[in-house]
Amino acid sequence: MTASAGGGSSPGDHPGREHRPPRPGKPMRTALTGGTLLWSDGRLAPGTVVFGNGVIQTIAAGEVPAGTGPDDAVRVDVVHDVTGHIVAPGFVDTHVHGGLGANVMSADAATGTRVSRWLAAGGVTACLAATTSVDADQLHRTLAGLAALRGRLAGGLGIEMLGVHVEGPFLAAAHRGSHREEHLRLPSPEAVDALLEAGDGAVRVVTLAPELPDGMDTVARLADAGVHPSLGHSGASFQQAKAAIGRGLDRAAHLFNELPPIDHRAPGPVPALLTDPRVRCELIGDGVHVAPEMLRFALDVAGWERLMLVSDGCDVAGLPPGRQRRWDGTVVDVTESEPRTLDGAVVGSVTRLGDALRVLVRDGGVSLSDALRMASAVPAESLGLDDRGRLTPGRMADIVVLDPELCVRTTYVRGEVIFDREEMGPG
């Protein structure tokens, strides 16, 4: 970043920041100017975004936005020249298990700090911590621990953990993936109530196989409790998927993965999920879990408005390539693109939403505007959040700055820098 025109930097200042004296009695305002903004209507066009006190205050096409009157003029205290860069809403990852050797199942502050550090370097400003199938006692302890961690991670200096995505244990054994079969169990009112009680209001999404006995009633029970039921790790038929949607199911976990393939005589759940306007579908955009051509296919069918990027990132994400041991003792071979068990099965992802963005645009032929909204606006809206996900005044100043190669340069949460590539390295 270069210094703004007409501004200088004193020794020790960050390159590209023009500092002005703070205004007495008023919160400091920061402007990102010279870049290409993702406007709320999907346009990618030049503009300036001004934020202060944790929220976006103004966006405008000009370099210095003017107020509506002499007492309301927008004055900024710090200017960042982001010429040549893209300014977008921070990414919201609604399905992540860990990173940098830490798994959210540990549910402690140190894990939150490591996961926050990893995700922030990928442009993520908020997430749902995703669990896995374990015995009931351990799951309840994890849910209680994650509930206590809600909010800003890393001692209040990191990304925001919005709550929990419970993945399992109500899954179909034939589609369990890396979930251990001995920990799978059937849903019941008692099991669901115990899960929600342990989560103490933190449970936002529950992924399950609705075709299991009592599965449809469980979908309705979760929806009535204000939790988003999500179809995943399921062998549901087209008709069963439609029935679950009718009972309140409004999400699909990592579409295509651990679901029956589309067949011309037995279409399975994917066509039902993609074509129903009541459902938003997760997509793992690492280019490994879903071929770029299928990512584009999903977009052509459902439109960007109902597709959200997720990482499904696991605990070995961010660790050096080679043989690593996961939190549950499973030994995996990690490459730059994927983790695999010793028998060759893919177990989660090692990428972040910033990485997925490049896959969609470069390999899937998805427009940058659509890909950015699939990583920000759609996941935020899928959780009913209207305080983030778009660059509009009044929303949180959760912002990511991308360079021309679509690599993350800077990540802001509520207007605070939590990752800067020049200061912290590539992450």
Q: Provide the annotated active-site residues.
A: 312
State the Cα–Cα distance between residues 65 and 239, nearest whole angstrom. 53
State the Cα–Cα distance between residues 229 and 216, nearest whole angstrom. 10
DSSP state of 304: G
Q: Cα dist. 152→52, 113, 120, 156, 163 in Å?
A: 18, 10, 12, 5, 11
Residue pair 421/410 in contact (Cβ under 8 Å)? The answer is yes
DSSP state of 223: H
**N residues, the chain:** 427
DSSP state of 172: -
State the Cα–Cα distance between residues 57 and 74, nearest whole angstrom. 9
Cα Rg of the chain, angstroms: 22
The values of phi and psi at residue 404, to 5°, are: -60, -20
- Kind and range of the H or E run holding 238: helix 238-246
Strands 160-167, 124-130: pairing kind: parallel
Residue pair 291/233 in contact (Cβ under 8 Å)? The answer is no
* Residue 121 Rama label (left phi>0; alpha psi -120 to 50; beta): alpha
Number of C-alpha atoms within 13 angstroms, CB side, residue 99?
A: 27
HEC letters along 67-98: CCCCCCCCCCCEEEECCCCEEEECEEEEEECE
Q: Which two tokens stand for residue 283?
A: 């997509």
Distance of CA 96 to the CA centre of its chain: 8
Residue pair 406/400 in contact (Cβ under 8 Å)? The answer is no
Strands 55-60, 44-52: pairing kind: antiparallel
> How many Cβ atoms sit within 10 Å of the Cβ of residue 54?
14
